[in-house]
Amino acid sequence: MRCLRRLAKYESGEERNVKNICVTLQYDGSRYDGWQKQGNTDNTIQGKLEAMLSKLFEQEIEVHGSGRTDAGVHAVGQTASFAVNTVLGPAKIAEQMNSYLPKDINVVDCKIMDARFHARLNAKRKTYKYRLCTGNVRPVFGRQYVLWHPQELDLAAMKKAAAYLVGEHDFRSFCGNRHMKKSTVREVYEVSFEETVRKEGDAEYPELVISFTGEGFLQNMVRIMVGTLLEVGTGARKPEEMKQILDGKNRELAGAMAPAHGLTLWKVEY
């Protein structure tokens, strides 16, 4: 019905400028209740975007993200699509959006897509990164984006454990939604570990960054995988337990969920 009305508008000339836009967004999730809109008490990224766009373009605009990010999780490459009736080109749309967005959200890319493109339905691969500061001294700068974890970690054991997660599995044990009715089978393409040192003046902050690439992730899945890998790293669990955790299909078997602020949605590929 809605489509037919749109078609009629288009034929009448009123909607000839309807564009399907895909934006790449960066946000500091610290002060938000996550991506997904929440009715009235709205303090979400999606909610902020829709309110701003609807006001800016004087039309109701629905924004589709590539997926939800939890409260406190950041993004350097979240994608979102929306249809808008405007004569503006993509560069101007991005500029307008940035001039109205709060300081902790911005648009770094804006493209016109085919009318059928949908940021969630067409997403093929997603990458998340979890940053851990592993030194003895708690970091001051950028502390909002890393988890300080000064205990020693057995990286070899963590890598061994992570290998169990790669491939297509039922990740029910790693799903934060215990009443999930849809399939909990996902394919994880890669889990990789990178050790770096961040310098701030003469002080050095060693970091361990764990990257997860997959076709998609369940609610809280990356944070539960990180929490479980940390339990392996500190010796509280053996790497081989990962198999039993997966096979058990029970959230109780996996480890604690790692804090949100260490996690960043890095990239969405189409």
Catalytic residues: 70
Binding a copy of itself (rule: CB under 8 A), the pick from 77, 214, 227, 255 is 77
Binding a copy of itself (rule: CB under 8 A), the pick from 142, 168, 196, 236 is 142
- The reply to whether 76 sits near a copy of itself by the rule CB under 8 A is yes
Q: For residues 158 and 133, what is the distance between their CA atoms, to the nearest angstrom?
A: 16
- The reply to whether 107 sits near a copy of itself by the rule CB under 8 A is yes
- The reply to whether 261 sits near a copy of itself by the rule CB under 8 A is no
Q: From the CB of 240, what's the least distance to a copy of itself, in Å?
A: 34
- The reply to whether 104 sits near a copy of itself by the rule CB under 8 A is yes
Q: From the CB of 104, what's the least distance to a copy of itself, in Å?
A: 6
Q: From the CB of 6, what's the least distance to a copy of itself, in Å?
A: 32
Closer residue to a copy of itself (CB): 17 or 98: 98
Annotate the chain with three-state secondary structure.
CHHHHHHHHHHCCCCCCEEEEEEEEEECHHHCCCCCCCCCCCCCHHHHHHHHHHHHHCCCCCCEECCCCCCCCEEEEEEEEEEEECCCCHHHHHHHHHHHCCCCEEEEEEEEECCCCCCCCCCCEEEEEEEEECCCCCCCCCHHHCEECCCCCCHHHHHHHHHHHCEEEECHHHCCCCCCCCCCEEEEEEEEEEEEEEEECCEEEEEEEEEEEECCCCCCHHHHHHHHHHHHHCCCCCCCHHHHHHHHCCHHHCCCCCCHHHEEEEEEEC
Closer residue to a copy of itself (CB): 103 or 116: 103
Closer residue to a copy of itself (CB): 246 or 268: 268
Mask for 172-201, x = binds a copy of itself (CB under 8 A): ----------------------------xx
Closer residue to a copy of itself (CB): 80 or 224: 80
Binding a copy of itself (rule: CB under 8 A), the pick from 2, 103, 124, 179 is 103
Positions that interact with a copy of itself (CB under 8 A): 24, 26-28, 74, 76-77, 95, 98, 103-109, 136-143, 145, 200-203, 266-267
